[in-house]
Amino acid sequence: MNISLSKYFPFLIWWPAVNPHSLRADALAGLTGAVIVLPQGVAFAMIAGMPPEYGLYTAIITPIIAALFGSSRHLISGPTTAISIVVFSAISKYAEPGSVQFIHLALTLTFIAGIMQLAFGLARLGTLVNFVSHSVVVGFTAGAAILIATSQFKHILGVEIPRGESFLETWVDIFKELGHTNLYVLAVALTTLIIAILLKKIIPRWPYMLIAMIIGSVLAWWLGAAAHGIKLVGELPPNLPPLSYPDLSLGTLRQLGTEAFAVALLGLIEAVSISRAIATRSQQRIDGNQEFIGQGLSNIVGSFFSSYAGSGSFTRSGINYQAGAMTPLAGIFAALFLAMILVFIAPLTAYLPIAAMGGIILLVSYNLIDFHHIQGIIRASRSETQVLLVTFLATLFLELEFAIYAGVMLSLFIYLRRTAKPRVFRLAPDPDDPKRHFVNLTRKHVQECQQITVVRVDGSVFFGAVNHISDSFYHIKQQDTAKHLVISGESINFIDVAGAEMLVQEAKVWRDQGGGLYFTKLKASVYQFLLRAKYLEQIGNDRFFSGKELAIAQLVPTLDPVKCATCQTRIFRECPVRHPD
């Protein structure tokens, strides 16, 4: 295989593994995926404010491109709930949902988001997703689920709720309109919902959502949909995705830039997180940069084929893996089967009640809330709980794109706050250990030398941590009589100019008080940095040792003999033997 070609065409890597056995397995998994995405695509398009067929167009185009240019063998891309609701939030302030202008802006948003994702991938920024806390995704998804459910109550109750209202205003209107509930509409929605829940419990491998919608459609027909105000989705055009053209004018690009960045970021987080989650079970290596490229290209190409923004779907990807998919061809098969289904059964959607879709979307919304991980986050970490709560509340009460930014910024702030406060532990030899290994005084209280203080810095010595480390050393000088400070540096992973300058200053301070600052077990990269930038000379070449024992052996003979003579601890082996008076 030509390595340079596979770098640009990653499908060349897995294509040689295709054989009759894998083709059969991928085809069966693809057929399962096509049946599952049929109701989901329609539902997600309605959430996004797009005509129903656009959800299916997205489920046809996006997974093919993502499968060819991504790195995961099981990720299935296409319309998702979270992306759909962000698209609706971003475009509904500029155009009426479902209108030609709305569609045009949504496709443009998709194109811009795809360009951003592709640029991130080409710039090798795939590791950036690692800095986004999982709590941001969990909180945003839970908030989006509640927003989605809220938006469907007008379809479930058969009442009129003005568009564009806030979360609280919508609920106020829902309670006001409860007395005008259309019981026929409510019956169709609840029947569809209950059937879907029961089927999921009894026969989870069957397309329970599709079956439930068919039953809901039959009920609406039996009740007399037209006579009782039961609105129908309408007939979908039996066409393959038609060509489309995003608006590439400078004004539109500026108008949608912020929202597109939010869509791009959320899409990448979803895709990479899902890919890695499945890869832990499939034992596959995921290339984050290649996933960025695959998602970016899928959205760019999709915007020219009537597809709005998509990303990785956890539900469809998980089912694809469980169904036995062996290569990304399963995603391509799913798209091709869906295209065939769209051509042959599209007219039947004329009998699909919007209320039935509302019931299905309620179930989708509930399934989006990850109760298991929410409970785990709350039990495990206060800071992660804060990130979860802030993202969740921001999703409900602020602009959706801002909710993503708020969660990401808070998680980064917490991360930086942690790294800016590396722990500085005091160490001393353990008298109960025959080898006199040094122990952390916070774990076991042992006596310390009056003239030498030994500490370990757990964390990087960089500009953000300089003040905290310097303050820790200052408190040691204030509290102790020791004039020598030995820093055990095996846990220092990184040092920058600000950190090195601080250490040079600290070395001068300790030297001026008649002692010194010493270092042991520095990692090679840290030592080389200090050597290369000549900080080693400023601190003193003789102040660096390969182990604590060597440093102690050199320091003990230089200690104040008067203090050593009256010392009761004698914690070091090198301490002079005390003669009886």
What angle do the packed helices 100-122 and 250-282 form, to 10 degrees?
60
Give helix 20-48 / helix 208-223 axis angle, nearest 10°. Answer: 50
The answer to whether position 574 is within a domain reads no
**Residues 360, 444 within the same domain:** no
Same domain, 131 and 64: yes
pLDDT at 67: 93
Query: CA–CA separation, 94 vs 73, rounded Å?
Result: 38
Give the residue among 352, 345, 330 at the shortest CA–CA distance from 189.
352
Closest residue by Cα to residue 259 from 365, 111, 410 = 111
Which of 415, 431, 450 marks a domain boundary? Answer: 415
How far the first Cα of the chain sits from its last, in Å, is: 83
Beta strands in 14-105 (DSSP E): 77-78
Determine phi and psi for 542, rounding to 5 degrees: -80, 5
Q: Find out whether 37 and 59 touch, Cβ atoms under 8 Å.
A: yes
For residues 77 and 64, give the distance between their C-alpha atoms in angstroms, rounded to a whole number: 8
Residue 431 sits in the same domain as residue 332: no
CA distances from residue 203 to 195, 373, 467, 468 in whole angstroms, order as listed: 11, 25, 60, 58
Q: Are residues 462 and 398 in the same domain?
A: no
Using the structure block, give the residue that is written with the tokens 């409970």: 375
Within 10 A of 341 (CB to CB), how many other CB atoms are there?
Answer: 17
Alpha-carbon gap, residue 447 to 188, rounded angstroms: 76
Rounded distance between C-alpha atoms, residue 22 and residue 330, angstroms: 9
Examine the domain organization and report whether 495 and 363 are in the same domain: no
Cα–Cα nearest to 125, from 298, 281, 308, 269: 269
Looking at the whole model, is its pTM more than 0.85? no
Q: Are residues 458 and 411 in the same domain?
A: no
**In terms of domains, do 473 and 558 share one?**
yes
Look at residue 381 and give its three-state secondary structure: coil
Q: 499 with 465: CB under 8 angstroms? A: yes
Tokens of 421: 């406060």
pLDDT given for residue 561 in this prediction: 83
Residue 360: which domain range?
Answer: 20-415
Judged on CB neighbours under 10 Å (0-12, 13-18, 19+), 108 is buried
Write out pLDDT tens, residues 452-475: 899 999 989 999 999 999 999 988
- Residue 452 sits in a domain whose CATH number is 3.30.750.24
Query: Is the domain of 445 the same as that of 356?
Result: no
Helical (H) or strand (E) element with 448: none
Domain count, the chain: 2
Same domain, 369 and 463: no
User: Does 433 share its domain with 408?
Assistant: no
pLDDT digits (tens, 9 = 90+) for 345-393: 777 777 788 888 888 878 877 877 888 889 998 998 888 898 899 989 9
Q: Do the domain assignments include residue 31? A: yes
Contact by Cβ (8 Å): 43, 55: yes
H-helix segments, 283-304: 288-302
**Do 411 and 428 reside in the same domain of the chain?**
no
Residue 258 domain-assigned?
Answer: yes
**368 and 457 both lie in a single domain:** no
What is the distance between the alpha carbons of residues 307 and 339, in angstroms, rounded to a whole number?
Answer: 13
In a domain, 2, yes or no: no
Residues of the chain whose pLDDT is less than 50?
A: 1, 579-581
Strand order in the sheet with 544-545: 438-440, 423-429, 452-458, 484-488, 516-520, 544-545
Asked which of 380, 415, 450 is the last residue of a domain, the reply is: 415
Query: Residue 389 contacts by C-beta under 8 Å, 6 or more apart in sequence?
Result: 139
- Cβ atoms of residues 263 and 113 within 8 Å: yes
Q: DSSP letters along 219-287, please?
A: HHHHHTTGGGT--B--PPP--PPPP------HHHHHHHHHHHHHHHHHHHHHHHHHHHHHHHHHT----
Domain-ending residue, one of 357, 386, 415: 415
Determine the 3-state secondary structure of 426 from DSSP.
strand
Is residue 514 classed as helix, strand or coil in its secondary structure?
coil
Residue 556, in any domain of the structure: yes
Beta strands in 9-160 (DSSP E): 77-78
In a domain, residue 508? The reply is: yes
Give a yes or no: residue 3 inside a domain: no
Distance CA 455, CA 480 (A): 13
Q: What angle do CA 95, 115, 263 make, to 5 degrees?
A: 50
Residue given tokens 């509340």 in the structure block: 393
Q: Is 575 domain-assigned?
A: no
How far apart are the C-alpha atoms of 308 and 79, rounded to whole Å? 8
Task: Give me 453's structure tokens.
Answer: 């203080």
DSSP assignment of 399-411: -HHHHHHHHHHHH
Tokens of 194: 């209950």
